[in-house]
Every structure is written in C-alpha cells, then in structure tokens.
Amino acid sequence: MWSPNEKSCLAAAILLASSVFAAAEVKVGQPFPALASFSLEGTLPESAGRVVLVDFWATWCAPCRASFPAYSALQRELGDRGFTLVAVSVDKQKGAYDEFLARFAPAFTTVRDGKQSLVGEVRVPAMPTSYLIDRHGVLRAVHSGFYGDKTVQELRTQIIALLEEKP
C-alpha cells in the first residue's frame, strides 16, 4: 500500500518525466550544458577547470534527503583538490526549497530550477540523479538514485580519478 506521501512523490516523478520527454538527453562523452545559461535561482560557483558533480534533487525525494550529509562530506573532503558539487533543486515551490536548505545546511552550492529549464534540457530520468563532469565540461558519468555508501564510494573513486587526470 502506498502512503499519501509516496503517492505524491510518484505523481511528481511521472509529471517530471513527462515534462522532459521531448528534450535532448545529455550523454556520457558530450559537453554538459553550461549552468549559467539557465535561469537558475541562486549563485553558481566558479567551476572552470574543476571537476563538477551536478546533482538534481527535490525536497519530496527521500533518497535526496539521505544524500545531503554524504555529499557535504564529499565536498569538504575533495573541494580543495578541485572538486565542486552543485545541487539543482527541481522544486517549483520556493518555500519548500528554503525550508529544506535551512534544515540540512549543505556544505555545497544549491540552486533552484523552478522553471525546470535545465532539468528539461538534460532530461533527468529520476530524483536524485547526479552528473559527473570533467575539468573540460564533458559528462563522464551519470548516477541515478542514491544508495548510501555504495553511491558515495563510486563517486569518490570517479571524482579522484578525474582530479588526477592532467588538465
């Protein structure tokens, strides 16, 4: 039996998926769209020459909530080595977004794609989904979902490998 919250999450996921169906999917090996080209609410960090993880999330997504402490730890651990995490909320309601950030106080940059222009361009398949981008702006890996330590270990290994590549 589905709880009312789970039904709401499922309905939102179906709506999100249907709203981005017509967009062109970004594939591994292709340039990732420039975040500054979209009407994102918030201040983007300088990311030129850095390894970037763009994580799409929503306040209604339980795995997203679980990922925030782990992703904060990754940012603190690897930020000085050239890693930047940018979390892109797909929430349409700014209030829910603001409350979530006040509660979780992430150690990484968060922005809101309230108009869902970036999520539509990228064609994000599920919440959460993370896109790992190399120093040259090329998409190198996609992680759909968050599976605790397993996801963190996979990401850490991939991020460190990209940080160790010659610029």
Q: What was the pLDDT predicted at 24?
A: 56
**Contact predicate 124/32, CB 8 Å:** no
d(CA 23, CA 44): 23
pTM attached to this predicted model:
0.85
Residues 6+ apart with CB under 8 A from 50: 82, 83, 84, 135
List the CATH number of the domain containing 134. Answer: 3.40.30.10
pLDDT at 20: 36
Helices of type H across 59-131: 62-78, 94-104, 117-122
Cross-strand partners of 115? none
Total number of domains in the chain: 1
pLDDT at 167 (0 to 100):
73
- Residue 135 lies in domain: 4-164
In this prediction, the residues of the chain whose per-residue pLDDT falls under 70 are 1-24
